[in-house]
Amino acid sequence: MTNTKEKITSKIWFEEPEKDNPFSAKSSYLHGYNVYDDLLENSSYMNYLFLLFMGEAPTTEQSKILEKICIALANPGPRDFSVMAAMSSSVGGSGNAASLMAALAVGAGSFNGGRELYLCMNLWTSAEFDLKKWQLEIESYDKESNVDVWPEATHCPGFEPHSDKLRTQTNQLLTILCDISENNYLNWLNENKDKLKLLSGSPISSVLVTAGAFKMLGFSAQQAEMFYLLARLPGAAAHALEQQSIGWKKFPFWPQGLKLSNDPADSISEVK
């Protein structure tokens, strides 16, 4: 490995320098398009994001799907664990970056997080439109005992662990996405959601719907996971700022909520 003139190889981005400063870009190009001369004036944010990830402009249908996903994901609400993490950061006066890092860390897991989305993408790839394959995948999700930094799966990705009925909002998301697009993934899911519930014992979740939408957009599992992590941050940011201004005294702490079963002072004691 040489230390001289090493370069970053990229298909995404290149720059032309200012004449008098090789460290300052005069022009920047995203997948061949001039960002400041062309995209800034002519592209929407959604189309820019799609171009950034996929290398080509989206179709009108793809752009609409991406926008709907972004709206659905932008704010999971203050009860969501990733948003709770951001708020828990901000009420103590931590910096805004810490709040977003907290939201990312918590929102990365296999319960509603980026990991679950990633696993759902793989589920779609493995089973596609074959109910028998879905059954095999559902039955085997917890059979693999590979040790990993990720904790073992405790529910089948894409299916509700805490609800026996299809959530209203999951159904609304699926319906709206199906109205925009006649693509296979979402319509197949809409037609087979009841059969999938019979196979798994649980209703499908919004994560599976979102993964179907990402499949329709042509995203890889890694791309979809990244985008999902990004797309859930705006709500975390807004709620963190709100709670920061309200303050820690009005934020839940559960003062009587911790029960120690092995308190050396008392075999079962309540933290005062």
Query: Can you give the binding site for other proteins, defined by CB under 8 A?
Result: 1, 5-17, 22-25, 29, 31-34, 38-39, 42-43, 47, 55, 57, 95, 97-98, 101, 105, 147-149, 155, 160-164, 201-202, 254, 257-265, 271-272
By C-beta, is 202 or 210 nearer to other proteins? 202
Residues 6 or more apart from 195 whose CB is under 8 A from it?
A: 131
By C-beta, is 7 or 143 nearer to other proteins? 7
User: What is the DSSP secondary-structure string of 196-234?
Assistant: HHHHHSS-B-HHHHHHHHHHHHT--HHHHHHHHHHHTHH
CB of 111 vs other proteins, minimal distance in Å = 12
Q: Nearest to residue 217, comparing CAs of 69, 73, 113, 114?
A: 69
Specify which residues 18 forms β-bridges with. Answer: 21
CB of 262 vs other proteins, minimal distance in Å = 4
CB of 187 vs other proteins, minimal distance in Å = 26
CB of 128 vs other proteins, minimal distance in Å = 25
User: What is the DSSP secondary-structure string of 134-176?
Assistant: HHHHHHHTTT-----SSPPPSS-TTB-SS-SS--HHHHHHHHH
- How far apart, in whole angstroms, are the C-alpha atoms of residue 181 and residue 178? 5
By C-beta, is 57 or 238 nearer to other proteins? 57
- How far apart, in whole angstroms, are the C-alpha atoms of residue 196 and residue 139? 12
By C-beta, is 119 or 186 nearer to other proteins? 119
By C-beta, is 17 or 247 nearer to other proteins? 17
CB of 109 vs other proteins, minimal distance in Å = 13
